[in-house]
Structure 1
Amino acid sequence: MIPSLPDSKLLTRGRALYVSLFFLFLLMPLSVVAVFAFNNSLFPTPPWKGFTLDWFIANTGDRTGLFFDSALLTSIWVSCKVAFWVTVLSVSLGIGNAFLLERAQFRGKGLLTTLMLVPLVIPGVILGISILAFASQIANYAYDAWGLELEWLRPGLPLVVAGQFSYIVTIATLTIAARLKRFDESLEEAALNLGATRFAILRTITLPYLKPSIIGSAAVAFLLSFENFNTTLMLVGSDNPLTVLMYGRMREGASPVLNAVSLLLMAVSSIAVGMMYLRKPKQA
């Protein structure tokens, strides 16, 4: 296709049909989930039995809405805590890794880069089992050899954070490193010639330039952590994040309250994406 030549009507209509079908494929399941969050039925399936807000605000014998379901609210809070720490660790180490890969020259750099990508291609279940087995071996050895009980190496939230961090940090690193690669290092050299310290240059020039990628990687890290299931399921203890709790509820029998949770998360995610889009950070 040559941009300077006008498209034929057939090509234009075909492209419009393709885009429409693509977005229909993406949005149809989400729309069904959203609609049946308001269905006045004990099951999130057709037929439609009338509009209701019970699955959000009810607190009766046979119906407990989302805002009165303490287990669901607790699991959302647990997921937020895990996602927060995974985001902080991934972005912090991702910034350091980006500088290491883009600025430093050392033997084995290519091998290190390749090894960093390994967690992305390992299935989440295998990754979770491997981390659990490794941590359990260390905890058992510490207890047998020195009588130390290392609870943080047992199934629980610390291991969940470690498991998610092991691959999300790679995504954060690649996102930040991609922007750092385009940075004009002559700006730092000019600041050094003018007497600025390296810390001042990092704080006033380099990090502001990296800010869009840092914010973007933080948002991606938080969402990836919040929705993770495979790795989390292998490492979770008694405090269930939302994905694990919803999985358990689905095995017992689907309820429209799960649709309500899904709709709430879609709304929050859409608002967050909209705010980031409207913010329109300046392009360097």
Structure 2
Amino acid sequence: MRIRMDLAYDGGGFKGWARQPALRTVQGELEAALATALRLPEVQVVCAGRTDTGVHARGQVVHLDVDADVVEATAGRAAATPIASLHRRLNGILPADVRIHDVTEAPEGFDARFSAVWRRYAYRVADLPQVQDPLTRNHVLHWRAPLDLDTMNEASRMLIGLKDFAAFCKKREGATTIRTLLDFHWYRDAEERAVATVRADAFCHSMVRALVGCMLAVGDGRKSPQWAHDVLVNAKRDAAVAVVAAHGLTLEEVGYPPAAQLALQAEKARARRDPDALVKDNCHE
């Protein structure tokens, strides 16, 4: 059977999501807890989005494949179902900075990574002295100057769509930097912090933090909105675009299509993005 798990974690104590020898990672902690709960020598999970060192998650999604008999055999008597028992035992084993919110049997065709149609991140910035709270400093970036969110939204809108985000990504051998940015906007939350909502079909390494760094340069008056668009078009890293600190970033939500479309979406997502499609798309902007 394939199991889906929805979880949250405070990334401050981890060296990112991906398992690494001798380092504390979210995947390492989760797989160790699953192996203990299921009484297996090892377990492997697949996640929707591999978060970097220090990045948090409120809406991470993973899946694992396991024999249904194993789940049933390790179930406690107190839980209503074997799945519910696994959920309860995992939260009893995991450290306090990781919580499982839900455990379900995944529908046919579900893949936590490839079935996803979008990932949504939030980046929080305290740019006003009166809202720079030491108690939230591990989850909110304290910025040195007030930000003009109207100007930042003007610049952010220019980056939305199917584009090559090479200027905002740390390139990896053989990997494409073409992504579809579905939403990028700024607002002030109830605490008057500046919050970026960034939603895309997928993200490449450091993309969200580079996009936010670019917008901060616009918002505090160092750069114009047009500069952000020019950086994108030049398709190469600009020294003026800072990759902001990881602690202000949270993976908030992962979106999936209806159950009948899960397998088709997974097949589509595995296909390499075509640069020719990017050219055709931009011709219609």
Judging by fraction of residues, say which structure has more helix. 1
Q: Which fold has the larger relative contact order, with Cα–Cα distance below 8 Å and residues 6 or more apart in sequence?
A: 1
